[in-house]
Structure 1
């Protein structure tokens, strides 16, 4: 079209717009725009976004080709500031040295958002074992990366706010950051098997912890926490079927610390979801230490709790407004110890209780009786069965 019309329509765009277009291209393609016209030769050097998508052999058939590209870009581009850098490499140990070089280069370019995915960590993991140092990094997303020793000490990243880990191997004593606001550990991350890794993030206001393989992380105080979703699935190692008389040395209950693991750290949450398989003991044992949820307004539970646990939570959540109970199995709610309910200690602000269940059985009726004894009128309670709206 440019040849027929005698005009390069890209010439109507400003340099800023052209650099924005280039930021969406993989770096090897962006680099090739140098051959178009003189104006394009330096544009890619000043893009504020770099993308290295090397997740298959078709893009870079040899490690030498990748190494050449990395060194060429670092040499020609210099330390021009970066807003975002995305690195996606297939699992190959010979590529990881240059991947780490890119990582260091991005940090030197004052990158604000860094995304790193490194393939299948079980076969050929990319291992990070030194702390990241950056005065500018705000967002860090890691996928299929193994993090060891000091790699999870973010004291060298004083403005880091968002940390997301997916399918990562976590092998460290602690995750620590004074600035972190959002933390997500999901999608089959592995945590240590012989100790509860400590999470120290006093300014955190959003936590997502689910689908991990290992012992549950220990949460230190989070006074600014707004929203938390914690899900203890079948891969979590904090389970026990012996009701406190466990004789299995490898069971997670033998590593249970005094003071609890999760709920004290979550006690300042405003919105809280606690989901678990019934055999997970963490929530039930944590409740025995008497955490008070003084700011909690919305709460979602599934069927891990007993009748005693439910009363305990209600008594320790004085301003709770909305409660949702998702029940597929209510066996633990039937029978059990006699309950002592003090109406003066219960949440008087509770406005809505939603019970999602497959059928209204004896366990559901017991919950209704507990709520009635707590002074919660039936008008505030709704039961949702399959197919209902």
Structure 2
């Protein structure tokens, strides 16, 4: 064999090749067993699992049932699998794409039942059942993108960082996020009912933004703190449901401990308007970013934050031209 044809990748140390395999989808990582004898069991020791682009729920279910056994089935002691510390499910669709999303529930999450798991990502799936991640003491990062969420609760007592990006909260009752240890929270461009946020005593930074063309949920165009009183109004009728104390806040109540906060919602979001009626002082808040919604209803939100943020050092106002024109009319 000429020097130019040398298999330089196979010559790399096992640890390096295992790291490289962690960037491949699981089904492609398994195929590397045919490259050479030295590759036969490397995929079993990859610390990451990436499940992507599965064409059907049946194929995914079969994979869930067989992959753990394949990963453990080896007589080579040196090839024993290492604990998973990263798991990513990506099915290549979004909740609003018109295609059926794959289904993820707690039964199928047994695949990732590793006490060493530190990061978990879900893309383009439907979460129908409540998600309890109490059995993952090392889990620090949870990222959920383009998902339809039917669940009524996500519980993650050890989680430090949560990002929910372009998700649609479809539950009849509000999703409750129980995150007592979370340090950073991002609810970016969500649709549907705003999730209920109980106390998060470890919170430092938070971003909450709604999708500009979202559904009628949580909206009342009267922009009154008491709503319009119309039972057919999606915003007023759905604001406080049976799992929430009508004198508590939906969103703001979970954000009191934040030192940095960014809010970007439309002026008609009655959740934020009514939350101000019951909200407490943001005693640790130093950096605040408000976008669009604070110009509605004679600047009440802006004035409220100025009066209830005694430690505030930096205020940034992001205003679109449309919002300025509406405020001046």
Larger radius of gyration: 1
CA shift at 1:290, angstroms?
Answer: 3.1
Return closer, same or farther for 1:104/1:140 CA change in 2, 3 Å cut-off. farther
Kindly state the Cα deviation for residue 24 of structure 1 after the two structures are TM-superposed.
Answer: 4.6
Over aligned residues, Cα RMSD in angstroms? 2.9
Match of 2:268 among 265, 270, 279: 279
1:88 alignment counterpart? 52
The verdict on how the C-alpha distance between 1:103 and 1:225 changes in structure 2, with shifts beyond 3 A counting, is farther
Alignment partner, residue 174 of structure 2:
196
Q: 8 Å contact 1:30–1:44 — kept in the other structure?
A: no
**Contact 1:240-1:246 at 8 Å conserved across structures:** no
Q: Distance in 1 between the 2:200 and 2:289 partners?
A: 19
Q: TM-score, normalised on structure 2?
A: 0.79
Q: 1:157 Cα deviation (Å)? A: 1.6
Tell whether the 8 Å contact from 2:19 to 2:47 is kept in structure 1 after alignment. Answer: no
Residue of structure 2 aligned with 1:101, choices 40, 65, 80: 65
- Aligned equivalents of 1:4, 1:26: Cα separation in 2: 31
Distance 1:21 1:240, change over 3 A: closer
- Separation (CA, whole Å) in 2 of partners of 1:179 and 1:170: 21
Q: Are 1:46 and 2:42 an aligned pair?
A: yes
Unaligned runs of 5+ in 1: 48-76, 334-361, 364-389
Q: Which position in structure 1 is the counterpart of 2:120?
A: 140
TM-score (ref. length: structure 1): 0.68
SS at match of 1:218: coil
Does residue 291 of structure 1 match 2:280? yes
Q: In structure 2, do the counterparts of structure 1 residues 103 and 238 end up closer, same or farther at CA, with 3 Å as the change threshold?
A: farther
2:90 is equivalent to residue 117 of structure 1: yes
* Aligned match for 2:315, one of 320, 323, 332: 323
RCO (CA 8 Å, sep 6+): is it higher in 1 or 2?
2
Aligned to 1:217: 195
Bigger CA drift: 323-332 or 252-261? 323-332
Q: Secondary structure at the match of 1:240?
A: coil
| CA 1:240–1:11: 2 relative to 1, 3 Å | closer
- Give the length in aligned residue pairs: 297
Q: Deviation at 1:207?
A: 0.7
Distance 1:99 1:250 in 2: 45
- Name the CA shift for 1:12/1:293 in 2 (closer, same or farther; >3 Å): same
